[in-house]
């Protein structure tokens, strides 16, 4: 007997034993979740009766499949297996997953049969990715709205009772986390700035706070088209050793700094961070890497991409703005597909330099297109120290757009020599 058939029998058995199971899980008792023709026939008449005898009588009177109307088979279902209906939800979920897995197998098999001779490999991968995304979307639609509402309600009560102010992934920067309530799953944040505003440094500092320093390390993935793995890790070391990038590389360190270096080395090699430094990564190649990584290591808590304007394209676009818009939209899709948060860096246009006030505004987003629409939040970085030499060590993190959080400006401390952001006491 196949695993799918066993799950179908368990589902029908629970409904026959306790009609409330059927009433409370109507979204599961639909024909597409059942392959066996006898079971489909029983399912037609199940809504009318909460009594085995009446169900048996009506099935006999409207017999399309003889076995469905046999009292012996109905009794077999009722008693199959001898277990409580208390944990039926687990089996109903498995029933849906089995159906989705079989659909996916069929679609993949058909896609393989339809591969044309000479079709580019990246297009074949893209077709298979679309099948995978379609499967995920179908699974999400199975979620019951009432269950989601209850989950949100229970979470709100728990957070209130325990004084929890951060509902998402904490970055380690108190003012920023208080404003955003943390980085939320399935959302995309754009961090934008002119060169010299320390965009990458903010990302490596957030990664350090999430995936290296804590006891409970979250899994971060850094996709860097601009800097090498070696450069990024050296930057992380700077924050621990409290010395400059060049001195780290050349070993010009004091005895105390060497001790901090040894400590940093242990922290980093035991961290939960993955770095890819491919040149011009495309949305398709990023998806491929994340699929492989999530299969090997499980959940991905944060994805960082540095940066949008130097990504590679896996399809043709009419204009540069359309191309960058496609990258931004892909980041949002990746956040939803992998149930994670994506931070993507973006350059700002040179228009900033022509203004007296060089704080970023939304129209400064370079080749913006639909970046504004794709992002859930957009932050622009401004360091007065860079332009005037004043306000040393202070960075303004300006929220230009916050779909669910509004707009504000948060001040963070930045040490240029140590390439590290810190909480600013003010």
Average of per-residue pLDDT across 75-103: 73
Q: Rounded to whole angstroms, what are the CA distances from 143 to 28, 137, 146, 149, 233? A: 10, 11, 9, 11, 41
Tokens 């304007």 correspond to 309
pLDDT tens-digit profile of 14-35? 877 777 777 777 778 888 888 8
pLDDT tens-digit profile of 239-249? 999 999 999 99
pLDDT tens-digit profile of 377-404? 999 999 999 999 999 999 999 999 988 8
**pLDDT higher than 70, residue 36:** yes
Fold match between 3-89 and 165-423? no
pLDDT of residue 300: 93
pLDDT of residue 329: 86
pLDDT tens-digit profile of 151-202? 777 777 777 776 777 888 999 999 999 999 999 999 999 999 999 899 999 9
CATH of 3-89, one of 1.10.860.10, 3.10.350.10, 3.40.50.2300, 3.40.190.10: 1.10.860.10
CATH of region 165-423: 3.40.50.300
Average of per-residue pLDDT across 300-329: 81
67 vs 279, residue with greater confidence: 279
pTM, two decimals, is: 0.67
**pLDDT higher than 60, residue 137:** no
Could you tell me the pLDDT band of residue 418, with boundaries at 50, 70 and 90?
A: very high
Nearest Cα neighbor of 226 from 241, 204, 247 is 204
Average of per-residue pLDDT across 195-221: 92
| CA dist., res. 63 & res. 45, Å (int) | 11
**pLDDT higher than 60, residue 136:** no
Give me the residue spans of the domains in the chain: 3-89, 165-423
222 forms bridges with which residues in the sheet? 275, 304
- How far does CA 190 lie from the centroid of its chain? 15
| CA dist., res. 219 & res. 229, Å (int) | 17
């Amino acid at each position: 007997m196949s695993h799918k058939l066993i799950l179908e029998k368990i589902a029908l058995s629970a409904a026959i034993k306790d009609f409330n199971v059927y009433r409370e899980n109507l979204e599961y008792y639909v024909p597409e979740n059942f392959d066996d023709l006898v079971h489909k026939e029983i399912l037609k008449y199940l809504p009318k009766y909460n009594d085995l005898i009446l169900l048996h009588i009506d099935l006999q009177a409207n017999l399309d499949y003889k076995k469905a109307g046999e009292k012996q088979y109905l009794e077999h279902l009722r008693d199959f297996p001898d277990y409580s209906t208390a944990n039926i939800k687990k089996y109903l979920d498995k029933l849906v997953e089995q159906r989705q897995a079989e659909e996916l197998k069929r679609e993949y098999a058909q896609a393989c049969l339809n591969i044309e001779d000479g079709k580019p490999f990246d297009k074949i991968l893209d077709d298979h990715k679309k099948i995978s995304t379609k499967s995920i979307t179908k699974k999400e639609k199975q979620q019951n709205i009432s269950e989601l509402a209850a989950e949100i309600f229970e979470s709100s009560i728990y957070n209130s009772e325990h004084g929890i102010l951060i509902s998402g992934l904490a970055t380690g920067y108190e003012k920023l986390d208080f404003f955003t309530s943390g980085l939320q799953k399935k959302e995309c944040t754009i961090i934008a700035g002119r060169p010299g505003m320390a965009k990458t440094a903010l990302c490596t500092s957030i990664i350090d706070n999430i995936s290296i320093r804590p006891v409970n390390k979250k899994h971060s993935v850094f996709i860097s088209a601009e800097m090498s793995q070696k450069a990024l890790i050296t930057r992380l070391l700077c924050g621990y050793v409290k010395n400059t990038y060049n001195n780290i590389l050349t070993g010009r360190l004091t005895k105390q700094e060497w001790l901090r270096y040894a400590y940093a080395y242990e922290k980093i090699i035991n961290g939960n961070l993955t770095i890819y430094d491919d040149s011009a990564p495309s949305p398709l190649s990023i998806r491929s890497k994340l699929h492989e990584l999530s299969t090997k290591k499980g959940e991905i808590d944060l994805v960082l991409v540095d940066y949008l304007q130097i990504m590679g394209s896996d399809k043709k676009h009419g204009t540069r703005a359309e191309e960058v818009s496609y990258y931004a939209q892909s980041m949002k899709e990746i956040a939803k597909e992998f149930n994670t948060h994506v931070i993507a860096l973006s350059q700002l246009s040179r228009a900033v330099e022509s203004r007296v006030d060089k704080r970023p505004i939304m129209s400064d987003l370079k080749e913006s297109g639909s970046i504004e629409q794709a992002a859930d939040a957009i932050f622009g970085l401004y360091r007065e120290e860079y332009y005037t030499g004043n306000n040393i060590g202070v960075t303004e993190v300006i929220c230009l757009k916050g779909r669910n959080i509004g707009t504000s400006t948060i001040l963070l401390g930045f040490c240029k020599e140590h390439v590290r952001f810190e909480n600013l006491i003010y």
